[in-house]
Amino acid sequence: MILVTGATGNVGSHVVDMLIKESIPVRVTTRDENNIPDEWIGNVDVFVTDFNNPNDINSAFDSVEGLILITPANEEMEIQQKNIVESAKVNGVKRIIKLSGLGAGPDAEIRLPKAHYKIEEFIKASGIDYIFVRPNLFMQTLMGSYESIVQNRAIYAPAGTGKISFIDAQDIAAVIVSALCTNEFNRSIDITGPDAVSYTEIASKLSNATGSSVEFVDVTESTAKESMLASGLSDWLSEAFLELFQVYRANLGSAVLSHNIKAETGTTVTTIDQFIQNNFQTN
């Protein structure tokens, strides 16, 4: 039995679909049973779980031998994932595939990569076999701008001229599932999409896909934070995203590591053009 936490998110939902397709027994955790897709009913075990409650987490590990560790990015991510790993160890889980983040490491200076690295070190100390999958920024973040792109013909971000090697969540999921089935553990896999593009270039691609001009508006950090808070993001997560965009503005998110996906899965990697055509084409 494989336990997938964070199963209904961008990456987790694809992971579960792939495991079901491979007829691998799956158990998922969720905060709200109503979030479980109809097509999963009867194909997965469902545990309603509070990641802040160790007893709650522990009950989900019965007969589980592998854990795919995903939780939402938030201020409690580190303690929540450590709680999950503790339960995994107590229950004899043999392997953990953790969704981490590009840049996680001893030199990480911003909160999300730093937190991921601390969790990685905790997993190493547990003695459980592990693989850390470290992707760059998800292409799916562009969907958060869907309304402004369609209605205002603009995409807003504090991105400057920096280029980002966005990656599709489905490609991340493919690497996770492939890693789960490998015998090569105790390693990390850094992955990105095959293209590094600026937001100006994204606006141009969106213009081509929608048949109407889309402008990139390089907003200030204060404006970006105000917008994120208004959309419901916490202050902590808003600041975390601003830190990431500081990295992107410095062009430090432009490395292309898509060859690691092909080496792991043997499949082709989604381009930013394909993602935009699939999700924004209106003409």
Per the structure block, which two tokens stand in for 228?
């994120």
CATH of the domain at 33: 3.40.50.720
pLDDT at position 151? 84
Residue 26's domain comprises 2-135
54 located within any domain? yes
Burial class, 148, CB count within 10 angstroms (exposed 0-12 / middle 13-18 / buried 19+): middle
260 located within any domain? no
Q: Which residues touch 139 (CB under 8 Å, ≥6 apart)?
A: 166, 167, 168, 169, 193, 270, 272, 275
53 and 29 Cβ atoms separated by less than 8 Å: no
Same domain for 276 and 148? yes
99 and 71 Cβ atoms separated by less than 8 Å: no
Is the model's pLDDT at 124 over the cut of 70?
Answer: yes
214 and 146 Cβ atoms separated by less than 8 Å: no
Same domain for 87 and 28? yes
| Distance in angstroms (rounded) separating the CA atoms of residues 126 and 268 | 34
Is the model's pLDDT at 173 over the cut of 60?
Answer: yes
Per the structure block, which two tokens stand in for 82?
């450590």
- C-alpha distance across the termini of the chain, in Å: 45
3-state SS class at 106: coil
| Distance in angstroms (rounded) separating the CA atoms of residues 16 and 55 | 24
> Which of 117-131, 142-156, 196-210 has the least mean pLDDT?
142-156
Is the model's pLDDT at 283 over the cut of 80?
Answer: no
pLDDT at position 2? 97
118 located within any domain? yes
CATH of the domain at 237: 3.90.25.10
Q: What is the mean pLDDT of the chain?
A: 94
pLDDT at position 282? 63
Is the model's pLDDT at 251 over the cut of 70?
Answer: yes
DSSP-derived secondary structure for 51-83: TT-HHHHHGGGTT--EEEE----STTHHHHHHH
How does DSSP classify residue 41?
Answer: B
What confidence tens digit (pLDDT) does each residue in 31-62 have? 888 889 999 988 999 998 888 887 888 889 99
Of 47 and 190, the one with more pLDDT:
190
Region at 15 (left for phi over 0; alpha for psi -120 to 50; beta for the rest): alpha
What is the pLDDT averaged over residues 80-91? Answer: 95
240 located within any domain? yes
Is the model's pLDDT at 229 over the cut of 80?
Answer: yes
Same domain for 143 and 123? no
Cβ neighbours, 10 Å, residue 139: 26
